[in-house]
Structure 1
Amino acid sequence: MPLRCLIADDSDHFKKAARLFLEAEGVAVVGVASTIAEALGRVGELRPDVVLVDIDLGGESGFDLARRLYDEGGGEPPPIILISTHDEQDFAELIATSPAVAFLPKPRLSKQAIDEILRGADA
Protein backbone atom coordinates (compact mmCIF):
# COMPACT_ATOMS: atom_id res chain seq x y z
CA MET A 1 0.00 0.00 0.00
CA PRO A 2 1.48 3.40 -0.91
CA LEU A 3 2.47 5.91 1.73
CA ARG A 4 -0.45 8.30 2.34
CA CYS A 5 0.66 11.93 2.69
CA LEU A 6 -1.01 15.26 3.43
CA ILE A 7 0.73 18.52 2.45
CA ALA A 8 0.11 21.70 4.48
CA ASP A 9 1.55 24.68 2.62
CA ASP A 10 0.25 28.15 1.74
CA SER A 11 1.74 28.04 -1.78
CA ASP A 12 -0.68 26.57 -4.32
CA HIS A 13 2.20 26.28 -6.78
CA PHE A 14 4.29 24.22 -4.33
CA LYS A 15 1.36 21.98 -3.36
CA LYS A 16 0.62 21.20 -7.01
CA ALA A 17 4.29 20.57 -7.89
CA ALA A 18 4.93 18.47 -4.77
CA ARG A 19 1.78 16.41 -5.39
CA LEU A 20 2.78 15.67 -9.00
CA PHE A 21 6.35 14.84 -8.03
CA LEU A 22 5.51 12.63 -5.02
CA GLU A 23 2.69 10.81 -6.82
CA ALA A 24 5.06 10.06 -9.71
CA GLU A 25 7.34 8.45 -7.10
CA GLY A 26 4.50 6.31 -5.69
CA VAL A 27 3.34 8.42 -2.74
CA ALA A 28 -0.43 8.88 -2.43
CA VAL A 29 -1.04 12.57 -1.68
CA VAL A 30 -4.46 12.17 -0.07
CA GLY A 31 -4.98 15.88 0.54
CA VAL A 32 -3.59 19.38 0.80
CA ALA A 33 -4.27 22.28 3.14
CA SER A 34 -3.36 25.96 3.24
CA THR A 35 -4.23 26.88 6.84
CA ILE A 36 -4.01 25.39 10.32
CA ALA A 37 -7.79 24.90 10.52
CA GLU A 38 -7.92 23.26 7.10
CA ALA A 39 -4.99 20.96 7.94
CA LEU A 40 -6.48 19.88 11.27
CA GLY A 41 -9.75 19.01 9.55
CA ARG A 42 -8.09 17.14 6.71
CA VAL A 43 -5.86 15.10 9.04
CA GLY A 44 -8.88 14.08 11.10
CA GLU A 45 -10.85 13.19 8.00
CA LEU A 46 -8.15 11.55 5.84
CA ARG A 47 -5.86 9.92 8.44
CA PRO A 48 -2.62 10.25 6.42
CA ASP A 49 0.50 8.23 7.25
CA VAL A 50 2.60 11.42 7.31
CA VAL A 51 1.98 15.17 7.24
CA LEU A 52 4.37 17.56 5.48
CA VAL A 53 4.07 20.97 7.17
CA ASP A 54 5.58 24.15 5.75
CA ILE A 55 7.19 26.19 8.51
CA ASP A 56 5.72 29.40 7.06
CA LEU A 57 1.98 29.05 6.42
CA GLY A 58 1.40 32.59 5.24
CA GLY A 59 0.19 34.45 8.33
CA GLU A 60 0.27 31.27 10.42
CA SER A 61 3.06 29.14 11.86
CA GLY A 62 3.82 25.60 10.80
CA PHE A 63 5.24 25.09 14.29
CA ASP A 64 1.79 25.92 15.74
CA LEU A 65 0.20 23.43 13.35
CA ALA A 66 2.71 20.72 14.29
CA ARG A 67 2.00 21.27 18.00
CA ARG A 68 -1.78 21.19 17.48
CA LEU A 69 -1.61 18.07 15.30
CA TYR A 70 0.40 16.40 18.03
CA ASP A 71 -1.75 17.64 20.93
CA GLU A 72 -5.07 17.01 19.20
CA GLY A 73 -3.99 13.85 17.39
CA GLY A 74 -6.05 11.54 19.56
CA GLY A 75 -3.45 9.15 20.89
CA GLU A 76 -1.43 8.39 17.77
CA PRO A 77 -0.95 11.45 15.57
CA PRO A 78 0.73 10.88 12.20
CA PRO A 79 4.43 11.71 11.96
CA ILE A 80 5.01 15.35 11.06
CA ILE A 81 7.86 16.45 8.81
CA LEU A 82 8.56 20.17 8.73
CA ILE A 83 9.47 21.53 5.29
CA SER A 84 10.78 24.90 4.14
CA THR A 85 12.83 26.74 1.59
CA HIS A 86 14.57 28.43 4.55
CA ASP A 87 17.79 27.00 5.93
CA GLU A 88 17.36 24.55 8.80
CA GLN A 89 19.77 26.60 10.94
CA ASP A 90 17.35 29.56 10.79
CA PHE A 91 14.87 27.53 12.83
CA ALA A 92 17.10 24.98 14.58
CA GLU A 93 15.81 25.69 18.11
CA LEU A 94 12.15 25.70 17.08
CA ILE A 95 12.62 22.50 15.07
CA ALA A 96 14.36 20.80 17.99
CA THR A 97 11.52 21.63 20.40
CA SER A 98 8.68 20.83 18.00
CA PRO A 99 6.89 17.45 17.94
CA ALA A 100 7.96 16.98 14.31
CA VAL A 101 10.09 13.92 13.57
CA ALA A 102 12.37 15.86 11.22
CA PHE A 103 13.03 18.85 9.00
CA LEU A 104 13.31 18.38 5.24
CA PRO A 105 14.38 21.20 2.91
CA LYS A 106 11.87 21.54 0.07
CA PRO A 107 14.55 21.03 -2.62
CA ARG A 108 15.32 17.59 -1.10
CA LEU A 109 11.69 16.46 -0.97
CA SER A 110 11.33 12.92 -2.33
CA LYS A 111 9.75 9.59 -1.45
CA GLN A 112 13.20 8.27 -0.54
CA ALA A 113 13.87 11.18 1.85
CA ILE A 114 10.45 10.73 3.50
CA ASP A 115 10.97 6.95 3.80
CA GLU A 116 14.40 7.46 5.38
CA ILE A 117 12.99 9.93 7.91
CA LEU A 118 10.10 7.63 8.82
CA ARG A 119 12.40 4.62 9.20
CA GLY A 120 14.60 6.69 11.53
CA ALA A 121 11.55 7.83 13.51
CA ASP A 122 10.42 4.21 14.02
CA ALA A 123 13.84 3.09 15.22
Structure 2
Amino acid sequence: MSMRCLLVDDSIRFLEAARRLLERDGIPVVGVALSGAEALVRAAELTPDLVLVDLDLDGESGFDVAAELARRASCAIVLISTHALEDFEELIADSPARGFLTKSALSARAIRELLGGDGETPAT
Protein backbone atom coordinates (compact mmCIF):
# COMPACT_ATOMS: atom_id res chain seq x y z
CA MET A 1 0.00 0.00 0.00
CA SER A 2 1.27 3.45 -0.83
CA MET A 3 1.31 6.26 1.67
CA ARG A 4 -0.15 9.26 -0.16
CA CYS A 5 0.27 12.33 2.01
CA LEU A 6 -1.51 15.66 2.48
CA LEU A 7 0.49 18.39 4.25
CA VAL A 8 -1.33 21.02 6.32
CA ASP A 9 0.68 24.04 7.48
CA ASP A 10 0.34 27.80 7.28
CA SER A 11 3.92 28.25 6.02
CA ILE A 12 4.39 27.91 2.27
CA ARG A 13 8.12 27.67 2.84
CA PHE A 14 7.71 24.70 5.18
CA LEU A 15 5.23 23.02 2.83
CA GLU A 16 7.70 23.23 -0.04
CA ALA A 17 10.62 21.90 2.04
CA ALA A 18 8.56 19.09 3.57
CA ARG A 19 7.20 18.07 0.17
CA ARG A 20 10.71 17.81 -1.29
CA LEU A 21 11.97 15.86 1.71
CA LEU A 22 9.12 13.35 1.80
CA GLU A 23 8.95 12.81 -1.95
CA ARG A 24 12.71 12.28 -2.13
CA ASP A 25 12.28 9.52 0.47
CA GLY A 26 9.38 7.80 -1.25
CA ILE A 27 6.26 9.37 0.28
CA PRO A 28 4.19 11.03 -2.46
CA VAL A 29 2.66 14.33 -1.38
CA VAL A 30 -0.66 14.56 -3.20
CA GLY A 31 -1.55 18.01 -1.92
CA VAL A 32 -1.01 20.82 0.53
CA ALA A 33 -3.32 23.05 2.53
CA LEU A 34 -2.69 26.35 4.31
CA SER A 35 -5.76 26.25 6.58
CA GLY A 36 -8.16 23.89 8.28
CA ALA A 37 -10.94 24.60 5.80
CA GLU A 38 -8.63 23.97 2.87
CA ALA A 39 -7.39 20.76 4.53
CA LEU A 40 -10.94 19.40 4.76
CA VAL A 41 -11.61 20.17 1.09
CA ARG A 42 -8.29 18.67 -0.04
CA ALA A 43 -8.78 15.55 2.08
CA ALA A 44 -12.20 14.97 0.53
CA GLU A 45 -10.88 15.54 -3.00
CA LEU A 46 -7.59 13.65 -2.72
CA THR A 47 -8.38 10.87 -0.20
CA PRO A 48 -4.84 10.72 1.22
CA ASP A 49 -3.64 7.82 3.35
CA LEU A 50 -1.87 10.22 5.71
CA VAL A 51 -2.39 13.84 6.75
CA LEU A 52 0.35 15.78 8.54
CA VAL A 53 -1.23 18.66 10.47
CA ASP A 54 0.65 21.53 12.11
CA LEU A 55 -0.58 22.30 15.62
CA ASP A 56 -0.67 26.06 15.04
CA LEU A 57 -2.32 27.11 11.79
CA ASP A 58 -2.20 30.90 11.95
CA GLY A 59 -4.72 31.16 14.75
CA GLU A 60 -6.45 27.85 14.06
CA SER A 61 -5.93 24.84 16.29
CA GLY A 62 -4.38 21.85 14.58
CA PHE A 63 -6.12 19.74 17.21
CA ASP A 64 -9.51 20.98 15.97
CA VAL A 65 -8.50 20.35 12.36
CA ALA A 66 -7.33 16.82 13.24
CA ALA A 67 -10.61 16.09 15.03
CA GLU A 68 -12.65 17.24 12.04
CA LEU A 69 -10.47 15.27 9.62
CA ALA A 70 -10.94 12.17 11.77
CA ARG A 71 -14.73 12.62 11.58
CA ARG A 72 -14.77 13.15 7.80
CA ALA A 73 -11.88 11.17 6.33
CA SER A 74 -10.43 7.71 6.58
CA CYS A 75 -6.74 8.44 6.96
CA ALA A 76 -3.94 8.39 9.49
CA ILE A 77 -3.31 11.77 11.08
CA VAL A 78 0.06 12.83 12.46
CA LEU A 79 0.46 16.12 14.28
CA ILE A 80 3.60 18.18 13.67
CA SER A 81 5.06 21.26 15.33
CA THR A 82 8.20 23.21 16.08
CA HIS A 83 7.30 22.71 19.74
CA ALA A 84 8.42 19.68 21.74
CA LEU A 85 6.11 16.75 22.47
CA GLU A 86 6.20 17.59 26.18
CA ASP A 87 4.51 20.93 25.48
CA PHE A 88 1.33 19.21 24.24
CA GLU A 89 1.64 15.58 25.38
CA GLU A 90 -1.80 15.28 27.02
CA LEU A 91 -3.62 17.03 24.18
CA ILE A 92 -1.86 14.84 21.62
CA ALA A 93 -2.75 11.69 23.57
CA ASP A 94 -6.41 12.80 23.67
CA SER A 95 -6.50 13.63 19.96
CA PRO A 96 -7.42 11.27 17.11
CA ALA A 97 -3.85 11.55 15.78
CA ARG A 98 -1.71 8.43 15.45
CA GLY A 99 1.20 10.40 16.88
CA PHE A 100 3.38 13.47 16.82
CA LEU A 101 6.64 14.53 15.19
CA THR A 102 8.62 17.70 15.62
CA LYS A 103 9.24 19.43 12.31
CA SER A 104 12.99 19.04 12.82
CA ALA A 105 12.55 15.24 13.07
CA LEU A 106 10.22 14.96 10.08
CA SER A 107 11.30 12.28 7.64
CA ALA A 108 9.78 9.39 5.73
CA ARG A 109 11.56 7.01 8.08
CA ALA A 110 10.18 8.73 11.20
CA ILE A 111 6.67 8.62 9.73
CA ARG A 112 6.97 4.93 8.87
CA GLU A 113 8.24 4.12 12.36
CA LEU A 114 5.44 6.11 13.96
CA LEU A 115 2.82 4.34 11.86
CA GLY A 116 4.10 0.89 12.68
CA GLY A 117 7.17 0.19 10.63
CA ASP A 118 5.87 -0.22 7.11
CA GLY A 119 3.88 3.00 7.01
CA GLU A 120 0.70 1.28 5.94
CA THR A 121 -2.47 2.69 7.33
CA PRO A 122 -4.96 0.17 8.70
CA ALA A 123 -8.20 -0.51 6.89
CA THR A 124 -11.11 1.21 8.61
What TM-score does the superposition give when structure 1 sets the normalisation length?
0.91
Q: Does 1:70 align with 2:82?
A: no
Equivalences for residues 34-73 of structure 1 within 5 A = 34-73=34-73
Asked if the contact 1:9–1:35 (Cα under 8 Å) also holds between the matched residues in 2, the reply is: yes
Name the % identity: 56
Q: CA deviation at 1:19?
A: 0.3
Asked if the contact 1:8–1:53 (Cα under 8 Å) also holds between the matched residues in 2, the reply is: yes
Q: CA deviation at 1:72?
A: 2.1
Cα deviations across residues 8-47 of structure 1 (Å, max 9, x unaligned)? 0001110000001111111100000011110000001101
Which letter maps to 2:21? F
Q: CA deviation at 1:2?
A: 4.0
Matches of 1:2 and 1:56, distance apart in 2: 28
Matches of 2:28 and 2:2, distance apart in 1: 6
Q: Does 1:94 align with 2:79?
A: no
Equivalences for residues 2-21 of structure 1 within 5 A = 2-21=2-21
Figure out how many residues of one structure are paired with residues of the other and give that number: 119
Equivalences for residues 14-29 of structure 1 within 5 A = 14-29=14-29
Which letter maps to 2:61? S
Unaligned runs of 5+ in 1: none
Which letter maps to 1:79? A
Which letter maps to 1:100? A
Structure 1 vs Structure 2 CA RMSD: 1.4
Q: CA deviation at 1:64?
A: 0.3
Q: CA deviation at 1:93?
A: 1.3
Q: Point out 4+ residue stretches in structure 1 off by more than 2 angstroms.
A: none
Matches of 2:111 and 2:61, distance apart in 1: 22
